Structure 1
Amino acid sequence: MAEVREGWQPKLVALDIDGTLLKWVQGGGSTHEEVAPAVQDAVRRVLDAGAHVVLASGRAPHSMTVVADRLGLHDAAPGGDRLWIVASNGSVLVRYPPLEIVREETFDAAPAVRAVLERHPDALVAIEERGVGYRVSAPFPEGELDGEQIVTHLDEIVSMPVSRVIIRDPEATADDFLQTAGELGLHGTDYVVGWTAWLDLAPVGVSKASGLEYVATELGVDATDVLAIGDGRNDLEMLRWAGRGVAMGQAVQAVHDAADVTTGTVDEDGAAQELSRWFPA
């Protein structure tokens, strides 16, 4: 919907987190996450107008509620209702606060994980340990996973159905993983490859789009009235599904191709630029 109808205003705004709402800022000898004031103000105007804001991320629920708190989303949610959050790339749907898992899609990840590890034997594997952090086959690079990392034998990690599996190879590239995933077909699982050699495995047919479709139905909002903004390959389905899909300026080409339009980069407060078009100051 690149050409919007006259008088159109989103009834639901779906926002990716990393690279859309949050940017990494260096200063004081460390690197930290930051939501720019312009983005914070724009999100508040969306809520003040009575539209719904739904966070949609590959993150686990516990690290998404922290962002919701930082933005003050539940303080100004329409009608004072609890927030909807689409976590783990659509595999887990959450109401907050308090944190309540409304829906969770799981699958047997063992065959796909072992197939990838045959080609990337040094890759790291992680699954969410709800409310704590992650169970990992070995520690991930610092800053890449929120919460505690509990080192666990691989057999135990993939012994039970899971909603999402992360496979990370610090020595490989995103293109390496794209080729591996494409050649393997991943035996019935869906996959997303991130900026680096980071592979998310999810149940078949599950994505941010499928999660948002469920939430939109619950809220009585049609997809044509949804504005979605994102920057990663895990946003492709969401951007195609939404009435208006917007790519962040720094996104890879596949994301631009899936979107209706492109806004500024995260360092240019691109999310605020797009939101201000429909919810001006």
Structure 2
Amino acid sequence: MTAELATPTLTATSRIVALDVDGTLMTYDEFLSDEVREAVADVRAAGHEVVLATGRPLVALLPVARDLGIDEGWVVCSNGSVTARVTPEAEGGFELEDVMMFDPREALEVMREHMPSARVALEEIGVGYWVNQAFPDRNLHGLHTVVEFEDLCGRSTARVVVADAEQPTREFSAAVRALGLSDTYFMIAGTHWMDIAPVGVTKAYALERLREQWDVPVERTVAIGDGGNDVDMLAWAGRGVAMGHADASVIAAADEVTLSILDDGAVPVLRSLLGD
């Protein structure tokens, strides 16, 4: 599902500033500092377009956007499967602009074969998730509706989420790719996660769509992130910045490294964009 994309008011000096949330702007226990809030506000006031780009579902990102003072703007959710415009004029405070839905049945059957004990969730956009068993509230946001595994197989979704995922085997990844899907494996706060989505759907996919529509040169794009699901985004940006606590694979994809989340590493990067 794709809607006609609106265009923000940008100038020749405006940048697209793509910001991961958990581990980049916000600690894993969801603390957001005043310094981060002020830096984001100042970057927006300087005419740059801040785009929150996260693995969080839309329902969990909207409160973060409000906390950051973003009542008008664009967000990339669910690792690129959902792009929405935040606006107080719309019902619920957002308009969906790009959603990549797919039929998960075959992927779930492959998962049941290779990971029979996995906790599986299908995103229900703007609401939460359908799950096959209870998830810890701190790990999965929004409303959780527990259904039978067969019920999951009958629903379309923007992505499949797996918690406490074991490292996918080569056979599992090959089977998923044969279905035109990709598996992304990453860590959040010590928990092993895996997302399954159509091949090529990443944060970078959604951000590139915005960049092209808004006609912003690649060299005027910035991204900050810390996780394995940020690797493509950091490579996409003209200036990709890894947080200081990130794994080696994330740092390798970046152009530079800043301080860790405990030291508000995003703040000096954001401050460096003011007045340029």
Specify whether residues 181 and 242 from structure 1 end up closer, same or farther in structure 2 by C-alpha distance, changes over 3 A only. Answer: farther
TM-score, normalised via structure 1 length = 0.85
Candidates 167, 179, 190, aligned match of 2:182: 190
Tell me if 1:116 matches 2:111: yes
Query: Shift of residue 182 of structure 1?
Result: 4.0
* Residue 168 of structure 2: aligned partner: 177
Tell me if 1:50 matches 2:26: no
**Cα distance in 2 for residues equivalent to 1:211 and 1:189:** 16
CA RMSD in angstroms, aligned pairs only: 2.0
Question: CA-to-partner distance for each residue in 1:212-252, whole Å, 9 max, x for gaps?
Answer: 01112232312221100011111111110110111111111
Does the 8 A contact of 2:183 with 2:196 survive in 1?
yes
| Structure 2 alignment gaps of length 5 or more | 1-11, 88-92
Does the 8 A contact of 2:173 with 2:182 survive in 1?
no
Query: Shift of residue 184 of structure 1?
Result: 4.0
Alignment of 1:256-275 (within 5 A): 256-275=251-270
Does the 8 A contact of 1:39 with 1:269 survive in 2?
yes
**Cα distance in 2 for residues equivalent to 1:154 and 1:207:** 26
- Is the partner of 2:272 in helix, strand or coil? helix
Specify whether residues 276 and 178 from structure 1 end up closer, same or farther in structure 2 by C-alpha distance, changes over 3 A only. Answer: farther
Does the 8 A contact of 1:12 with 1:221 survive in 2?
yes
Does the 8 A contact of 2:132 with 2:146 survive in 1?
yes
Query: Shift of residue 118 of structure 1?
Result: 1.7
**Cα distance in 1 for residues equivalent to 2:83 and 2:137:** 27
Does the 8 A contact of 1:213 with 1:223 survive in 2?
no
Tell me if 1:39 matches 2:36: yes
Specify whether residues 248 and 9 from structure 1 end up closer, same or farther in structure 2 by C-alpha distance, changes over 3 A only. Answer: farther
Query: Shift of residue 157 of structure 1?
Result: 1.4
Candidates 238, 243, 249, aligned match of 2:244: 249
**Cα distance in 2 for residues equivalent to 1:33 and 1:95:** 23
* Residue 201 of structure 2: aligned partner: 206
Question: CA-to-partner distance for each residue in 1:198-220, whole Å, 9 max, x for gaps?
Answer: 11011111110110011122323
**Cα distance in 1 for residues equivalent to 2:22 and 2:47:** 25
Does the 8 A contact of 1:9 with 1:278 survive in 2?
no
Specify whether residues 17 and 164 from structure 1 end up closer, same or farther in structure 2 by C-alpha distance, changes over 3 A only. Answer: same
Tell me if 1:63 matches 2:60: yes
Query: Shift of residue 149 of structure 1?
Result: 1.0
Between stretches 221-230 and 14-23, larger displacement belongs to: 221-230
**Cα distance in 1 for residues equivalent to 2:211 and 2:253:** 20
**Cα distance in 1 for residues equivalent to 2:84 and 2:210:** 10
* Residue 80 of structure 2: aligned partner: 90
Tell me if 1:14 matches 2:4: no
Tell me if 1:72 matches 2:44: no
Query: Shift of residue 183 of structure 1?
Result: 5.2
Alignment of 1:270-281 (within 5 A): 270-279=265-274
| Structure 1 alignment gaps of length 5 or more | 1-7, 25-31, 75-81
- Is the partner of 1:23 in helix, strand or coil? coil
**Cα distance in 2 for residues equivalent to 1:16 and 1:189:** 23
Specify whether residues 225 and 213 from structure 1 end up closer, same or farther in structure 2 by C-alpha distance, changes over 3 A only. Answer: same
**Cα distance in 2 for residues equivalent to 1:252 and 1:185:** 25
* Corresponding letter in the other structure for 2:24: T
* Residue 27 of structure 2: aligned partner: 23
Does the 8 A contact of 1:73 with 1:83 survive in 2?
yes
Does the 8 A contact of 1:249 with 1:266 survive in 2?
yes
**Cα distance in 2 for residues equivalent to 1:21 and 1:238:** 16
Candidates 97, 100, 118, aligned match of 1:102: 97
Query: Shift of residue 9 of structure 1?
Result: 6.9
Between stretches 56-65 and 127-136, larger displacement belongs to: 127-136
Does the 8 A contact of 2:114 with 2:172 survive in 1?
no
The percent identity for this pair of structures is 39
* Corresponding letter in the other structure for 2:16: L
